[in-house]
Amino acid sequence: MDVRKSTPLNLSLYGLVTLGTMVGEVRGIHGLIYICKPLMMVVLSSWFFYNSRRVGDRFTLLIQAGLLFSLIGDVALMLQHRDEFNFLIGLSAFLIAQLCYAMAFLHNIMETGQARGALISAMISVSLIAFGYFFGSRLLPAVDETITIPVTIYVIAITVMGVTASFRLGRTFLRSFLFTMAGAFCFVLSDALLATNRFLDPMDHARWSVIFTYAIAQVLIASGALMHVLDPDEICRKAALST
């Protein structure tokens, strides 16, 4: 058995380092955070890479890029207590990660024609856009003027990521859609908690809840993407198209 591809082993390790990160955040143990937080995306991206490389295409490369930029964002935000500029670096890295995920989902959409479920996708999209608009309207007045534009762009980017995820309905396998859509929702929730705690109303639970929802978001997106590319029907379809 290739341990690099083992789902039980890698996801157990992912859960362990996520727990370590949450404990470090709650107890203020920076050494534990420095070890565990970067390992979250290292473990997840390694597992994704070794499971998807035999069917690698633009979709998997974009998901992999999203995980890589998430790792950069994690490291930058981990060090923001040393220099506030690291917050902007982290925000920029996560902005690129969101765009990578959005482009991956859009690539999936463009590969197929008309699909059933467009009405449901539209309803989900309208809900996400409405949430982004009203949350942003509340958030932006509380944000320092020097970072208003980056924060606004990020809110738009994560909303676009959620919208593109919603339009995968009917264009991929149901489990893949449900996993990535749930991951997108969790990502929005995690960022909303982070922004609320930082700029609006400090929350005691944010020390662990931001990491918890973020960890769930990333593993759901990566798992949903793998379900799409590793499904036998999808592999056969790509083989037929390449001949």
The token duo for 97 is 């990660």
Task: Determine the pLDDT at residue 118.
Answer: 87
pTM: 0.92
pLDDT tens track for 7-56: 999 999 999 999 999 999 999 999 999 999 999 999 999 999 999 987 77
Residues counted in the chain: 243
Residues 173-184 have a mean pLDDT of 95
Q: How far is CA 167 from the centre of its chain?
A: 17
Task: Determine the pLDDT at residue 243.
Answer: 43
Kindly state the percentage of the chain with pLDDT values over 90: 78
DSSP 3-state of 143: coil
Alpha-helical runs (H) found in 112-231: 118-139, 148-166, 174-195, 206-230
**Domain limits, the chain:** 58-242
pLDDT tens track for 85-106: 899 999 999 999 999 999 999 9
Task: Determine the pLDDT at residue 73.
Answer: 96
Task: Determine the pLDDT at residue 234.
Answer: 53
Task: Determine the pLDDT at residue 233.
Answer: 57
Q: Can you count the helices (H) and strands (E) in the chain?
A: 9, 0
Task: Determine the pLDDT at residue 210.
Answer: 97
pLDDT tens track for 111-153: 876 677 789 999 999 999 999 999 999 999 999 988 999 999 9
